[in-house]
């Protein structure tokens, strides 16, 4: 009788280079030249590992599904590493030389195979490639692995993606149309954000497992200046301060009259800029053996404090600095508009757990509130 049970067809596409530019400070991974530069800087892609994390969450149900995937590093390797014994491998690629065209071809082939859910690993660029190939013909779910993730077709973390697929397999979930967004990376590297809505794709939806679309916060300029002035007035001369990305953090640089980058990670000491637009290795060279604090803000509409656009502040750096030396700043309006806890997705589950719990958020001059951090 069990042989008559219809198996769900799940597709898997991995962009093996997704997010490779994050920790080396390239603010993206789109384009062959960017990938080459990232590798030259010593970057290692975390996308395969993040795929395995998600797949392991529902590998126990593999007898109930047919997993369609692409060869080698585009899904086959990750599926087998996750314990899937007989993934159905379709298509052909040049091993080690995957391109966006491979992603598009894979999406088309899987749609023709009748997959009921297309699981993909990547960032906004990968989501856009899949949308361009199949539009909204097949429900999708993104496993976040990119540097910049403005789209809302992604799960909060790889673990959440795996849990959502498990729920999809076991029971029907409602589908919800979610935005496919992407930005111009060349402008992004120059400190300018030019985001564009490309369309919508259907996602199996459970609110606590799906991330929101990144939104520009409608905040009070005066309140942001209050926060920044409070931070500046309370800076200790003995500390190095890592300034993360974002408008709220940049306000600190404005008050100090230093050239703080909007979308990069900078370092100050004794209220002077000593390192600008630094990557993970640069930061480590400066801070080893020093007393350090990290200042981060909250991504509007999503709630992330780590793991979206500031991967330069890696788990190694976070542990070295310590949770007690983490300063989170955000206006109360931005926090309330989230409608959820703060989030972390550092790329390392142990670091995410370390950051979880309750944390103080500076919301004004000598004002603070306590918020929960989840992973």
What CATH number corresponds to the domain at position 47?
Answer: 3.40.50.10330
Task: Say if residue 111 is in the same domain as residue 237.
Answer: no
Residue 219 has pLDDT above 80, yes or no: no
Residues 233 and 260 reside in one and the same domain: yes
Evaluate whether residue 214 is within a structural domain: no
Q: Is the pLDDT of residue 216 over 80?
A: no
pLDDT at 37: 81
Residues 351, 226: one domain? yes
Q: So what's the pLDDT on residue 190? A: 57
pLDDT, tens digit, for every residue of 119-135? 999 999 999 999 999 99
Print the domain residue range for 39.
Answer: 2-209
Has residue 94 got a pLDDT over 70?
A: yes
- pLDDT score for 192: 59
Residue 38 has pLDDT above 80, yes or no: no
Say if residue 325 is in the same domain as residue 230: yes
- The gap from C-alpha 269 to its chain's centroid, in whole angstroms, comes to 29
- Tell which of 165, 185, 209 closes a domain: 209
Q: What is the mean predicted confidence (pLDDT) over 165-192?
A: 81
* pLDDT at residue 41, rounded to an integer: 82
- Same domain for 189 and 241, yes or no, is no
Instruction: State whether 365 and 261 are in the same domain.
Output: yes
Cα end-to-end span (Å), the chain: 40
The 10s digit of each residue's pLDDT in 109-119 is 999 999 999 99
Beta strand 266-269 with 272-275 is: antiparallel
Nearest by Cα to 304 from 355, 239, 237: 355
CB contact set of 332 (below 8 Å; sequence gap of 6+)? 223, 363, 364, 367, 369
Model pLDDT, residue 172: 79
Looking at residue 188, its pLDDT comes to: 57
**The last residue of a domain, from among 153, 181, 209:** 209
Q: Is residue 215 in a domain?
A: no
More confident residue, 28 or 260: 260
Whether 153 and 245 map to the same domain: the answer is no
Please tell me whether residues 176 and 230 are part of one structural domain. Answer: no
Average pLDDT estimate for 327-344: 95
pTM of this prediction?
0.91
Q: What is the pLDDT of residue 20?
A: 87
Structure tokens at 342: 């703060």
Regarding whether 267 and 174 lie in a shared domain, the answer is: no
């Amino acid at each position: 009788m069990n042989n008559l049970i219809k198996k769900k067809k799940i597709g898997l596409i991995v962009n093996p280079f997704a997010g490779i530019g994050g920790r080396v400070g390239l603010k993206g991974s789109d384009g062959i030249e960017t990938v080459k530069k990232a590798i030259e800087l010593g970057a290692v892609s975390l996308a395969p590992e993040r795929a395995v994390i998600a797949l392991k969450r529902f590998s126990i149900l593999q007898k109930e599904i047919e997993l369609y995937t692409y060869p080698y590093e585009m899904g086959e390797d990750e599926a087998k590493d996750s314990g899937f014994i007989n993934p159905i491998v379709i298509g052909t690629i040049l091993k080690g030389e995957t391109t966006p065209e491979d992603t598009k071809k894979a999406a088309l082939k899987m749609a023709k195979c009748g997959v009921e859910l297309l699981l993909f690993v990547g960032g906004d660029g990968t989501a856009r490639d899949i949308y361009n190939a199949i539009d909204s013909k097949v429900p999708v779910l993104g496993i976040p692995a990119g540097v910049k993730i403005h789209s809302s077709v992604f799960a909060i973390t790889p673990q959440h993606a795996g849990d959502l697929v498990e729920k999809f397999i076991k029971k029907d979930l409602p589908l919800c149309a979610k935005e496919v967004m992407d930005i111009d990376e060349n402008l992004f590297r120059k400190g300018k954000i030019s985001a564009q809505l490309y369309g919508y794709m259907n996602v199996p939806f459970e609110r606590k497992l799906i991330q929101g679309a990144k939104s520009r916060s409608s905040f009070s300029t005066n309140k942001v200046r209050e926060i920044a002035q409070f931070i500046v007035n309370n800076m200790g001369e003995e500390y190095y301060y890592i300034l993360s990305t974002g408008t709220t953090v940049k306000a600190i640089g404005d008050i100090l009259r230093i050239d703080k980058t909007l979308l990069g990670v900078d370092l100050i000491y004794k209220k002077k800029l000593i390192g600008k637009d630094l990557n993970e290795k640069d930061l480590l060279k400066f801070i080893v053996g020093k007393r350090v604090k990290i200042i981060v803000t909250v991504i509007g509409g999503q709630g992330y404090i780590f793991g979206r656009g500031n991967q330069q502040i890696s788990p190694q750096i976070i542990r070295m600095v310590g949770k007690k030396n983490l300063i989170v700043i955000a206006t109360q309006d931005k926090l309330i508009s989230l409608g959820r806890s703060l989030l972390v997705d550092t790329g390392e589950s142990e670091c995410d757990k370390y950051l979880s719990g309750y944390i103080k958020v500076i919301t004004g001059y000598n004002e603070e509130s306590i918020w929960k951090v989840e992973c």
